[in-house]
Amino acid sequence: MNYQWYPGHMTKAKRMMQENIKLIDLIIEVTDARIPLSSRNPDIDELGKNKARLILLNKADLADDHKTEQWMEYFREKGYYAVKINAKNGTGIKSILPVIMESCKEKIERDRRRGILNRPVRAMVVGIPNVGKSTFINAFAGKACTKTGNKPGVTKGKQWIRINKNVELLDTPGILWPKFEDQEVGAKLAMVGSIKDEILNLEELSLELLAYLHREYEGILQERYQITESEDKLNMLEQIAENRKCIQKGMELDYVKAANILLEEFRNGKIGRITLETVK
């Protein structure tokens, strides 16, 4: 299956980031903890060089905790700060503010030496679709957040949100999209729901997911669906269809329904805490 992406959105978002990068001290990049690499946009590294960087591994409650810890170490070794969070229920949100201040301590010290006191750290939040960028902003800002109005040089429509006297977030309507030639990246994005199901072959996608789960998390499918695991992906999907009564007219198995069940239960964590990428 060929996974298509939409570069037009990416071009617009990239231009927006280039326009605003000079105004900010820190880039906060929200990723999906289940696919920490595939849910990043590689352009951000080039656009954000010389800026402090914070990677948030969101949806950590759905990811393999051992692998999440390995990914956090991976990002730290690259010079980034990293925090695992669940923006939906607020887990990890309180730990972010101290990390922001730590990541920008050189900038704060530089300001102090110049006699500039109490200038807040300005952070731009970026993230591809469905990683929870808006949920994070709302959780971090809370109900008490106040929009501080447009700053000079900021395109109309962009808003600075004051978190407290020390931090302001640049909330932008732009979305950054990953550019991928590697179809494996596309498959992983599709599995977690970042590409619309309507344009996918869900049966094919479910077979790829079954193969990965059998290889990396042997026994997890047997436990969830009471099936016999094997290298035969189609046979495993057939067993799921049978056990979940996915039957069409004429008593034929409904593979699409079985594929939908598998993908939905993977995405909401019912199969278990699973990460689709391993640190190499």
CATH of the domain at 234: 1.10.1580.10
Q: Do 11 and 145 lie in a common domain?
A: yes
Strand order in the sheet with 81-84: 81-84, 52-58, 26-32, 121-126, 167-171, 159-164, 146-147
Report the 3 state secondary structure along 4-49: CCCHHHHHHHHHHHHHHHHHCCEEEEEEECCCCCCCCCCHHHHHCC
pLDDT tens for each residue of 236-268:
999 999 999 999 988 899 999 999 999 999 999
Average confidence (pLDDT) over 148-166? 63
Residue 194 domain-assigned (yes or no)? no
Domain-embedded: residue 141: yes
* Highest mean predicted confidence (pLDDT) among 3-12, 13-22, 131-140, 205-214: 205-214
Q: What angle in degrees, to the nearest 10, is found between the helix axes of 183-192 and 202-216?
A: 90
Do 205 and 215 form a contact (C-beta atoms < 8 A)? Answer: no
Average pLDDT over residues 207-228: 97
Domain coverage including residue 233:
201-267
Task: Evaluate if residue 120 carries a pLDDT over 90.
Answer: yes
Q: Are residues 124 and 225 both part of a single domain?
A: no
Has residue 86 got a pLDDT over 90? yes
Return the half-sphere exposure (C-beta side, CA atoms, 13 A cut-off) of residue 17.
28
Decide which of 171, 193, 210 is a domain's last residue: 171
Asked if residue 83 belongs to a domain, the reply is: yes
In this structure, is residue 280 part of a structural domain? no
* 191 in a structural domain: no
CA–CA separation, 222 and 133 (whole Å): 34
Residues 164 and 238 in one domain: no
DSSP annotation of 145 reads -
Phi first, then psi, for residue 161 (nearest 5°) are -110, 120
- Do 205 and 162 fall within a single domain? no
**Bridge partners, residue 54, by sequence:** 28, 81
Note whether 30 and 96 are same-domain residues: yes
Residue 31 bridge partners (DSSP): 57
Question: 24 and 99, same structural domain?
Answer: yes
Top-confidence residue, 32 or 184: 32
| Confidence (pLDDT) at 151 | 46
List Cβ neighbours of 217 (8 Å cut-off, separation of 6 or more).
272, 274
The residue that leads in pLDDT, 10 or 107, is: 107
pLDDT of 5 above 70 = no
Determine, yes or no, domain membership for 26: yes
Question: Do 85 and 37 lie in a common domain?
Answer: yes
pLDDT of res. 9:
63
Question: Which carries the bigger pLDDT value, residue 85 or residue 189?
Answer: 85
Residues 131 and 64 placed together within one structural domain of the fold: yes
Q: Are residues 205 and 166 in the same domain?
A: no
Q: Residue 131: which of 67, 53, 60, 46 has the closest Cα?
A: 60
pLDDT at 229: 97
Give the total number of structural domains in the chain.
Answer: 2
Q: Average pLDDT of 46-68?
A: 95
What percent of the chain lies above the pLDDT cut of 70? 87
- What average pLDDT does the chain have? 88
**Domain at 83, CATH number:** 3.40.50.300
Answer yes or no: do 141 and 261 share one domain: no
Label the pairing between strands 52-58 and 146-147.
unpaired
Higher pLDDT, 8 or 112: 112
Let me know whether 164 and 210 are in one domain: no
Average pLDDT over residues 91-114: 94
Residue 178 lies in a domain: no
Residue 231 belongs to a domain:
yes
Length, in residues, of the chain = 280
Considering the domain architecture, whether residues 162 and 114 belong to the same structural domain is answered as yes
> Is-above-0.85 flag for pTM?
yes
